[in-house]
Homo-oligomer: A and B are copies of this chain.
Amino acid sequence: MQKKNPEVNPEKLKAIVDAACYEFAKKGYDLASTNEITKAAGISKGLLFYYFESKQKLYNYLISLALKKLWDFHNKVDKNETDVFRYYEKMAQLQLELFKKSKSLLVFMGTIPKKEMSLLSKPLQDEVYKLLFSIQTLKDITNHPEKINLTLFRSDLDGFEILLIIDYAIKGYEAKLTKCMHSIDITETNFEEVMEDFRKFLQSLRKVFYKKERI
Residues of A that sit less than 8 Å from B by CB = 27, 31, 157, 161-162, 164-165, 167-176, 201, 204-205, 207-208
Whether A171 pairs with B175 at a CB distance below 8 angstroms is: yes
Count chain B CB atoms within 10 A of each CB in A167, A168, A201, A205 and give the residue with the most.
A168
Chain B residues closer than 8 Å to A208, beta-carbon distance: 157, 161-162, 165
Main secondary structure of the interface of A (DSSP, over half): helix
Q: Which residue of B lies closest to A170 (CB)?
A: B172
Chain B residues closer than 8 Å to A171, beta-carbon distance: 171-172, 175-176
CB distance from A210 to the nearest CB of B (A): 12
Q: Which residue of B lies closest to A26 (CB)?
A: B28
Count chain B CB atoms within 10 A of each CB in A162, A171, A172, A205 and give the residue with the most.
A172
Chain B residues closer than 8 Å to A168, beta-carbon distance: 168-170, 172-173, 176, 201
Q: Which residue of B lies closest to A167 (CB)?
A: B172
Give Cα A139–Cα B27 distance, bound, in whole angstroms: 30
Whether B204 pairs with A165 at a CB distance below 8 angstroms is: yes
Given known pairs A31-B27, A31-B31, the reply for A205 and B165 (CB within 8 Å) is: yes
The 5 closest A-B pairs by CB, nearest first: A171-B172, A172-B172, A168-B172, A169-B169, A168-B169
